[in-house]
Amino acid sequence: MLGTACTRVEERIQAALGEQEKGASIEFESCLDVPKGGVLCALPALLGNGLLNDIERHLGKLTGYYQTFHILLLSTYAKLI
């Protein structure tokens, strides 16, 4: 089974050609197991309280498939597992 990024070819091509300014859309999908996934249950509340407000101003803006907040959230989650 391919990962989500491997199945979203159109978005990757647009990002590679510089035609996608906002980055990839966030899409949640069901899965069988996510290690320490319970931490992700707190994410909506944290985002609602401004966890990522003005994040691009502080860390810079990335262009392409992944946005700054994608990288920040993924690297934070990776440290938990």
pLDDT digits (tens, 9 = 90+) for 5-62: 567 788 878 878 888 777 777 777 777 777 777 777 887 888 888 877 888 788 888 7
Buried b (16+ CB within 10 A) or exposed e, 57-80: eeeeeeeebebbbeeebeeebeee
Q: Residue 32: its pLDDT value, please?
A: 75
Residue given tokens 């934070």 in the structure block: 76
Q: What is the DSSP letter of 22?
A: S
Phi, psi of 23 (to 5 degrees): 80, -175
- How far apart CA 24 and CA 16 sit, in angstroms, is 12
CB distance 51 to 77 below 8 Å: no
